[in-house]
Amino acid sequence: MRIRTQFNIALTVVFSLGFVMSAWLTYRVMLDNSKEEVLRNAGLLMETALSVRSYTIDEIKPVLSPLLGEEFLPQTVPAFAAVETFERLRKKNPDFSYREATLNPTNPRDRSQDWESDVIDRLRSSGVGEIVGEREGETGPSLYIARPIKISNPACLSCHSTPDAAPPAMLAKYGSVNGFGWRLNDIVGAQIVSVPTGLAVRNARHAFYAFSAVLAGLFVTLFVVLNLMLSRMVVTPIKQVSDLSDEISNGNLGLPEFDERGADEIRNLHASFNRMRRSIEKAMKVVQLQKELMKKS
């Protein structure tokens, strides 16, 4: 097997392993980064919802409280304000979702779905302040952040303990069946922000494909350059030595000597071959001289 063939086989194996390992590690890093980006976006949306809630409590409710005796205004409810804000956001970003999912809500639209009820149960049983998960939704995979809705303010019980204690205006709007029986320090629901991962994953894959193309182009370029260097610095000089050796073995001593230049190893090879050739010429001259002397004698 030729040197070039052996070299190319070894180079192909090394480059293939390097390409596969580099591509796999790069894909995993890009995919993880895309999910971290999605989680950062979800965290930002969650903080936005908390800010809306806080603004409603501090700024909106005090202004509208005098009107609550005549009519129940859901705009004074922090959960209602946060959900309504995100409903407007969803007009341009329908895949994003914010829910204040509750097991027994006053407003029927806030009733938890099956998977949301499971998340609430996990928050209740684990006692953690936040759960991060991934689920398959109607529009594709999404990551979600869930935080417990805990009754830590006794003022909340004025609307949710018993129907008798609730404001008449609220009963007139939502009835006396749902949203009652809450107790202090109970976890009654969860704030859940869902952000789709499809776009981030697609962007990560596009970046991965571009990186793979550049990496493959780099490997091909290195392959060609190394082959050219091998041919110029090793294969061609060795072939010249081999061809000249064949000529000398056939008695053709009239060929010029090698130029002693190039890489150190090739230059030493040429120098050694030239010395060997001169020694052979001298030996053949001695033999020829001896033959002539024998003929004369």
Q: What is the 3-state secondary structure (H, E, C) of 98-111?
A: EEEEECCCCCHHHE
Is 95 in contact with 184 (CB distance < 8 Å)?
no
* Cα distance between residue 261 and residue 233, in whole Å: 11
What is the radius of gyration, based on Cα positions, of the chain?
42
| Cα–chain center distance at 151 | 39
- CATH of 217-296 among 1.10.8.500, 3.40.50.620, 1.10.3720.10, 3.90.1570.10: 1.10.8.500
Structure token pair of residue 247: 């000529």
CA distances from 175 to 64, 107, 290 (A): 21, 10, 131
pTM, two decimal places? 0.64
* Cα distance between residue 194 and residue 134, in whole Å: 9
pLDDT at 118: 92
Average pLDDT, consecutive stretches of 10 residues, N- to C-terminus, the chain (297 residues): 77 86 88 85 86 84 71 79 84 82 87 90 88 81 88 78 80 83 88 84 85 88 85 74 69 64 68 73 72 70
Burial (CB count within 10 angstroms: exposed 0-12, middle 13-18, buried 19+), residue 138: exposed
pLDDT at 254: 63
Residues of the chain with CATH 1.10.8.500: 217-296
- Alpha-helix residue ranges (DSSP H) falling in 109-235: 114-126, 157-160, 168-174, 198-230
